[in-house]
């Protein structure tokens, strides 16, 4: 049969593909959970009035952003663990290093891109907001946390959701370090059954569906919480 | 319309077919009468059968076996070079008497032709970290094994050890690197590549061991036309004698053993069965 949809509906190949889809979603959610605070921290550093955090922030962003994701994954999987002390390395190797290293690479990569989006959001908040907060007696940290960031994040939501779609799609690159996500399982089905058409159709539709769902969520969010103009 | 003429024609056809069958009923007698036996060989597959560049002679492991079969029959061996895809048709159409052409014996082919005793076994093997203490395949149960994606290795290791955890990479070198770094306990590759990988380890080689068991065996055998019991008996007898006299072992070492390009440390099989 040219295209046999039954292997996608049930059986072993179906199970593999679903397992891959679940891991892809998990990779995205966990990486997002690390990337967003990391990005926010970098953005605050980059907009700081002190030179040192600005320099560190800028260095990190440029160093991570200018290396391809594929190189990141291979570095964090093949090179980074070799730099760890023996005991830590053993702990890592005993605990699914493929997934852990994929999360590290994806979080950093998505994080620096989010940092730039949040930085733009921060710059969109008029400087007078921070001055007003300070003059009302808020400390430096409280002013940033309670006044600056909420407005900045709201302005950053559209590009951040776009980064989330990228993160979801980028999770497919984790296949190169043996993380058993969706692309990995699709290739596995192909090897075992020679049904590449079905396997990659499943993967394509799954990526498309989840990407569209994230975009729809972004659209709804923007309708419910439009960016306020100051 | 089916008339009497068709009936007569088909009777003749049937008779001719049966006659042809009868004429070839004993291929062994034919070969002895002609005084020669025709082997279908690839001639391009070192070290099984290939042209030696210096002497321009057809030589190889399977060529030596073919010579032994011809000697046992007391006839002259004739070698006919054929292509991989043409092997089974050439045999079935009677252009060659026996295939000695790197032919893998598998279930699918058993319905079409018969096979002699398995005279070579190749397949995937497993390299483990010596420190893991693993000395046999069953001990890999539940352990993490690394290999390349897309080949038969993953399927083979899962067949050999169903509960094994397999992690695959884009190519064998990445998988091998993962083993060296300790990300998996074992590494699967086909035997000759595995030996070459092992060679690359240099002094670090003592930290790694290649398990003796093959997985995903590819048994090779001579191919015979179906039902030629007389010829098959002679072929199998020849192979058994090669094995019992130690000549088979010597042939293996001559073409595959230490110091050859393939450089197998030792033979992992004996010639004893035509079952797969």
Shortest Cα–Cα distance, A177 to chain B (Å): 6
* Exposure of A28 in the CB half-sphere (CA atoms within 13 A): 23
Per CB-CB distance under 8 Å, the chain A contacts of B148 are none
Between β-strands B165-169 and B144-148, what pairing exists: parallel, antiparallel or unpaired? parallel
Residue of A nearest to B166 (CA): A178
Predicted model pTM: 0.67
Strand B36-41 to strand B76-81: parallel, antiparallel, or no bridges (unpaired)?
Answer: parallel
pLDDT tens figures, A35-69 = 999 999 999 999 988 999 999 999 999 999 999 99
Q: Is A67 exposed, middle or buried (0-12, 13-18, 19+ CB in 10 A)?
A: middle
In angstroms, rounded to a whole number, what is the distance separating the alpha carbons of residues A214 and B201?
48
Task: Give the helix, strand, coil percentages of chain A, each rounded to 5.
Answer: 85, 0, 15
pLDDT at residue B54, rounded to an integer: 93
Per-block mean pLDDT, blocks of 10 residues, chain B (276 long): 60 56 72 95 87 93 96 96 86 94 85 93 89 93 90 84 93 90 91 78 90 86 95 96 96 89 82 91
Largest CA distance in chain A: 74
The nearest alpha carbon in chain B to A177 belongs to B169
Return the residue in B124, B148, B149 with the most chain A beta carbons within 10 A, the one to mutate for interface testing: B149
Query: CB–CB of B150 and A184 under 8 A?
Result: no
Cβ distance B168 to A177 less than 8 Å, yes or no, reads: no
Mean pLDDT value across residues A206-216:
95
Residue numbers in B near A192 (CB within 8 A): 154-155
- The number of residues in chain B equals 276
Residue percentage of chain A with pLDDT more than 70: 98
Q: What pLDDT is stored for residue B121 in this prediction?
A: 87
3-state helix, strand, coil in chain B (%, to 5): 40, 20, 35
Nearest Cα neighbor of B168 from B196, B195, B189 is B189
ipTM: 0.81
Please list, in sequence order, all residues whose beta carbon lies within 8 angstroms of the beta carbon of residue A57, skipping any fewer than 6 positions away: A42, A43, A45, A46, A48, A115
Q: Considering only CB atoms, which chain B residues are within 8 Å of A191?
A: 149-151, 154-155
Contact: B169, A177; criterion CB under 8 Å:
yes
Please give the residue of chain A at the shortest CA–CA distance from B177: A78
CB contact under 8 A, B181 and A81: yes
């Amino acid at each position: 049969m040219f295209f046999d949809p039954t292997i996608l509906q049930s059986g072993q190949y179906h199970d593999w593909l679903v397992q891959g889809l679940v891991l892809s979603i998990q990779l995205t959610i966990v990486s997002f959970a690390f990337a967003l605070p990391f990005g926010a921290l970098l953005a605050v550093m980059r907009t700081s009035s002190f030179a040192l955090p600005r320099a560190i922030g800028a260095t990190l962003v440029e160093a991570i952003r200018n290396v391809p994701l594929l190189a990141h994954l291979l570095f964090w999987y093949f090179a980074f663990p070799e730099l760890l002390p023996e005991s830590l390395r053993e702990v890592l190797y005993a605990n699914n290093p493929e997934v852990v290293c994929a999360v590290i690479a994806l979080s950093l990569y998505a994080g620096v891109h989010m940092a730039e989006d949040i930085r733009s959001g921060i710059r969109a908040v008029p400087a007078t907001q921070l001055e007003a907060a300070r003059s009302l007696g808020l400390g430096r940290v409280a002013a940033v946390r309670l006044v600056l960031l909420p407005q900045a994040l709201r302005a950053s939501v559209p590009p951040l959701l776009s980064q989330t779609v990228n993160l979801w799609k980028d999770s497919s690159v984790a296949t190169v370090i043996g993380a058993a996500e969706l692309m990995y399982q699709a290739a596995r089905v192909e090897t075992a059954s020679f049904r590449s058409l079905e396997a990659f159709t499943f993967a394509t539709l799954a990526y498309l569906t989840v990407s569209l769902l994230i975009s729809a969520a972004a659209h709804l969010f923007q309708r419910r919480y439009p960016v306020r103009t100051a | 319309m089916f008339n009497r003429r068709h009936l007569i024609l088909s009777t003749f056809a049937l008779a001719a077919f049966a006659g042809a069958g009868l004429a070839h009923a004993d291929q062994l007698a034919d070969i002895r009468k002609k005084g020669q036996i025709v082997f279908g060989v690839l001639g391009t597959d070192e070290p099984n059968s290939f042209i030696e560049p210096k002497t321009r002679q057809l030589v190889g492991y399977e060529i030596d076996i073919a010579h032994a079969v011809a000697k046992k029959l007391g006839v002259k061996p004739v070698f006919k070079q054929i292509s991989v895809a043409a092997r089974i048709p050439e045999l079935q159409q009677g252009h060659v008497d026996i295939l000695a052409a790197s032919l893998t014996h598998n279930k699918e082919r058993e319905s079409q032709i018969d096979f002699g005793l398995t005279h070579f076994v190749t397949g995937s093997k497993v390299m483990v970290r010596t420190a893991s203490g693993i000395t046999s395949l069953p001990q890999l149960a539940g352990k993490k094994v690394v290999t390349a994606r897309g080949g038969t290795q993953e399927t083979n290791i899962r067949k050999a050890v169903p509960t094994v955890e397999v992690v695959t990479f884009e190519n064998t070198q990445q998988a091998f690197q993962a083993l060296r770094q300790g990300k998996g306990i074992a590494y699967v590759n086909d035997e000759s590549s595995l030996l070459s990988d092992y060679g690359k380890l240099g002094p670090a080689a003592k930290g790694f061991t290649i398990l003796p068991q093959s997985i995903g065996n590819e048994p090779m055998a001579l191919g015979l036309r179906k039902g030629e019991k007389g010829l098959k008996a002679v072929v199998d007898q020849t192979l058994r004698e090669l094995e019992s006299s130690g000549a088979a072992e010597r042939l293996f070492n001559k073409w595959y053993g230490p110091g050859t390009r393939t450089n197998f440390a030792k033979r992992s099989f004996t010639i004893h069965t035509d079952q797969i």
